[in-house]
A and B are shown apart, each in its own frame.
Chain A
């Protein structure tokens, strides 16, 4: 028996006028999963969330929640929770009445409401005695965020949608809330669908991430899969940083291919089964997968690009060395601070240097 997915999108499309906001989107979200939809603004991630909530209606395709087709269902019939980017707390109601709102709509016995509201407030770590009687205008941004969360959680939904809920909160509080949200997801067993444009946030919190680009799904996978094996140039540059190289596949070598670089020099890629001879190949290399050497000290077997050190940026735990390579451009190398005995060479601007990396660390990209 296979488990019924909490959410299932099947070729869902939504247009506003002539612009496609969501184009042929398909994916499944497992029950209890912390699932992030990540992408730049305008990529369709918020529209996807609104389609799930029923606030927008799909033009075509099927949306299933726990196996049930909900395309024609109004938001109030879907029984899910949602936390809005702007919090959307009712300004004319107290914190208590805000949280009780959904319970009242669902005809919960009035006698049970105070206990459930108090429990929801405790869940988001707000003292009911202190906060229940306050108006939203008397709360800080972080407190409003917690009330909005409590208002959604009090209904004990199977699915919680969060639309960039931490966008308006300062960094320190945001980090704390990230951990709390993750903990709530685990302890309550609720499926979280989390929309964000912050790649770090998505990597930290998610079980899986759907990266969206221009209304389409660019890549779906665990944070590690997406970071280690970005499928397209967009994913490689949107999540983390990457150096890009292009060339033509010349010949197969043991365990990989030799690529004739556009810059003239050749380099090798490993694990590239899909490559055919004569084909154009685009690769990405993460800066921290590269190393910098003085000329003629590069270990054998590594790919290398020789150039002039353009910039050295000291970041504490890391040092970024930018090497300007003729006909390629700038290659960024991230060197880890590994302690007193293995200090990186103090590179200077203008030094001749070689950026080198292993064929195994070449990520072959699919054409966009």
Chain B
């Protein structure tokens, strides 16, 4: 008698394609159950009627999508997109030089990379709370400035767009640094020397050789920053004081205090659709013009 295990192993040996499926199986199963199924449920909810105490009631309506295009909500969406773009640009400007230094360093590389990923060791929530202690009226920054006599009255730092942007950049900076580092690290130093011998000064070397060759990293880093920034709610909630909310806060509220699951679902799908369209448009452009980056 063969055990089921033997039977399975023999089948896998006879059909190599099965081996691929066997390797994909656990991951695909997990995603299917915990990602695809909830998404389908959400999509269905977004067309149903709102339940009185949360949840949904059967029926079909486009009301929630129509409601989203109210100027009130569009303003939130606009703010969210602008802030996310701003966060991405700031992360790029601050992260690129860091990635460059790490990629060019030899003995310090491991230490620097360790420092970049160090924040991930504590939860994002804890780190955002720590920002509050830094920024509030009696916080670290104000106390230092006051004790130095730079200011008399504490600066209002917390619960401002500035604080939200600070928190967003702080939170997503490593996600920008790491992919850019990965592409800069692969950059062949001889290319820069060749450019230099051919007459390229530092700026020309950067814009004509380094930047184009690190574009895959810049694109990956920007997506890894922009997309989660678009959906973030914790930072604006804790540091923005819920005055100027982002789309993430809006959605979160619908599922909690407002108890409007269908509207929350509809808003989620609108944002998701926007991201999808933006990414697809970008990839299409790259297909049409392959001269940019290999």
Interface residues, chain A, with chain B CB atoms under 8 Å away: 53-55, 74-76, 78-82, 84, 86, 88-92, 94, 101-102, 105-106, 135, 137, 151-152, 155
Interface residues, chain B, with chain A CB atoms under 8 Å away: 188, 190-191, 193-201, 204, 208-209, 212-213, 291-294
- Within the complex, the shortest CB–CB distance from B209 to chain A, in Å, comes to 6
B197 partner residues in chain A, CB cutoff 8 A? 53-55, 75-76, 78, 80-82
A78 partner residues in chain B, CB cutoff 8 A? 197
Closest to B208 in A: A101
Whether the Cβ atoms of B294 and A92 lie closer than 8 Å is yes
B292 partner residues in chain A, CB cutoff 8 A? 92
Q: State which of A76, A88, A105 has its C-beta within 8 Å of the C-beta of B188.
A: A88
- Within the complex, the shortest CB–CB distance from A84 to chain B, in Å, comes to 5
Whether the Cβ atoms of A101 and B294 lie closer than 8 Å is no
Closest to B198 in A: A102
A105 to B197, CA, bound (A): 10
Q: State which of A75, A76, A92 has its C-beta within 8 Å of the C-beta of B212.
A: A92
A80 partner residues in chain B, CB cutoff 8 A? 197
5 pairs of residues in contact across A and B, judged by CB atoms under 8 Å? A55-B197, A76-B199, A84-B193, A101-B198, A105-B199
A125 to B194, CA, bound (A): 22
Whether the Cβ atoms of B193 and A88 lie closer than 8 Å is yes
- Within the complex, the shortest CB–CB distance from A162 to chain B, in Å, comes to 12
A89 to B193, CA, bound (A): 11
A91 partner residues in chain B, CB cutoff 8 A? 191, 213, 294
A80 to B198, CA, bound (A): 8
Q: State which of B190, B196, B198, B201 has its C-beta within 8 Å of the C-beta of A155.
A: B198
> Are A76 and B196 CB-contacts (below 8 A) given A86-B190, A88-B188?
yes
Whether the Cβ atoms of A92 and B293 lie closer than 8 Å is yes
Whether the Cβ atoms of B190 and A84 lie closer than 8 Å is yes
Whether the Cβ atoms of A90 and B190 lie closer than 8 Å is no
Closest to A106 in B: B199
- Within the complex, the shortest CB–CB distance from B197 to chain A, in Å, comes to 5
Closest to A80 in B: B197
Whether the Cβ atoms of A92 and B213 lie closer than 8 Å is yes
- Within the complex, the shortest CB–CB distance from A51 to chain B, in Å, comes to 13
- Within the complex, the shortest CB–CB distance from B222 to chain A, in Å, comes to 18
- Within the complex, the shortest CB–CB distance from A85 to chain B, in Å, comes to 8
- Within the complex, the shortest CB–CB distance from A70 to chain B, in Å, comes to 13
A79 to B188, CA, bound (A): 22
> Are A94 and B291 CB-contacts (below 8 A) given A84-B190, A88-B190, A105-B204?
yes
Whether the Cβ atoms of B198 and A151 lie closer than 8 Å is yes
A152 to B212, CA, bound (A): 22
Q: Which of A84, A106, A155 has the most CB of B within 10 A?
A: A84
A86 to B188, CA, bound (A): 10
A90 partner residues in chain B, CB cutoff 8 A? 191, 194-195, 209
Whether the Cβ atoms of A84 and B204 lie closer than 8 Å is no
Given contacts A74-B196, A76-B200, 13 further A-B contacts (CB under 8 A): A54-B197, A55-B196, A55-B197, A76-B196, A81-B197, A88-B188, A88-B193, A89-B194, A90-B191, A90-B194, A92-B292, A92-B293, A101-B200
B293 partner residues in chain A, CB cutoff 8 A? 92
B208 partner residues in chain A, CB cutoff 8 A? 101
Closest to B195 in A: A101
A151 partner residues in chain B, CB cutoff 8 A? 194, 198
Q: State which of B194, B199, B294 has its C-beta within 8 Å of the C-beta of A84.
A: B194
A143 to B197, CA, bound (A): 21
- Within the complex, the shortest CB–CB distance from A136 to chain B, in Å, comes to 9
A80 to B201, CA, bound (A): 15
A151 to B198, CA, bound (A): 8
- Within the complex, the shortest CB–CB distance from B210 to chain A, in Å, comes to 11
Q: State which of A54, A92, A105 has its C-beta within 8 Å of the C-beta of B198.
A: A105
A78 to B200, CA, bound (A): 11
A165 to B209, CA, bound (A): 22
> Are A88 and B194 CB-contacts (below 8 A) given A76-B200, A94-B291, A105-B200?
yes
Whether the Cβ atoms of A102 and B196 lie closer than 8 Å is no
Whether the Cβ atoms of B198 and A55 lie closer than 8 Å is no
B294 partner residues in chain A, CB cutoff 8 A? 91-92, 135, 137
A127 to B199, CA, bound (A): 26
Closest to A50 in B: B193
A84 to B212, CA, bound (A): 21
Whether the Cβ atoms of B194 and A82 lie closer than 8 Å is yes
- Within the complex, the shortest CB–CB distance from B186 to chain A, in Å, comes to 10
A75 to B197, CA, bound (A): 5
B209 partner residues in chain A, CB cutoff 8 A? 90
Q: State which of B188, B191, B196, B291 has its C-beta within 8 Å of the C-beta of A75.
A: B196
A79 partner residues in chain B, CB cutoff 8 A? 199
Closest to B196 in A: A75
A89 to B198, CA, bound (A): 12
